[in-house]
Structures are given as C-alpha cells and as structure tokens.
A = this chain, B = another copy of it.
Amino acid sequence: MAIHKKEEFTQKEQDLAAFAKALSHPARIAILKVLAQRNECICGEIVDVLPLAQSTVSQHLKELKLAGLIDGTVDGPKSCYCINWKAFQKFNAEFNTLFTNLKLKNEKSCC
C-alpha cells in the first residue's frame, strides 16, 4: 500500500467509511447487540457470549470506542461499556442521508 490514499477523499467520505469500518466485523455488531440488551453497563459478560478470546474481544471494544460508537469507563478490574447513542444517531442519520442522496439522483438501474 506504500502510501495511504484515504486522506485524499472528502472528510465526510472518510467519516462515513470509518463508521462503516467499525461495523464491518460480525463480532462488533454482536457486541453492540449485547450492549443494547442491557440497561446498565456491561462489565465483562461480552466475552462469555462471543466465540472469541478475551484479548480479542478487548481489541474489538477498543475499536468501537475509537470509532466513538461506545463509551467505556475503566473501573479498576471491571470495565463499563455502553453505546454512545448520540454518536450512533448521528452516524445513522448521515448514513440515511447518503442513501437518500444517492437515490435522489437515480431510481432506475440500467445494467
């Protein structure tokens, strides 16, 4: 890959791509589902549910956090994760806008 070319696209394209990337692994989608199923912060039970090693889950959590989709507070031996609804909402809206804008121009396929 030598040189990264991602920076040459618009910020919006990059942001949306980063959001999509955060959701581009089934484990991370599964994690979000688990997080959503609770009213409280999840403290570790994610590892039990997923077919992945503890360190791997931790890595996925880190990526979700980096993408801004979840918040996490470290509380000593236990960590507390939950969905960042605000960010999620924002991305969902932007996603729908992309879809809508795409559709606005053309409704018919020609191939």
Contact = CB atoms under 8 A, between A and B. Distances in A.
Contact of A23 (B20, B25, B51): B20
Interface residues of A, number: 58
A111 B24 contact: no
A29 B5 contact: no
A102 B9 contact: no
A96 interface: yes
Interface in A18-43: 18, 20-30, 32-33, 36-41
Interface string A76-111: 000011111110100010011011011111111111
A44 interface: no
B88 A38 contact: no
Given A17-B24, A85-B103, A105-B37, A98 B51 contact: no
A15 B40 CA distance: 28
6 contacts: A14-B26, A37-B106, A41-B110, A82-B106, A84-B109, A92-B96
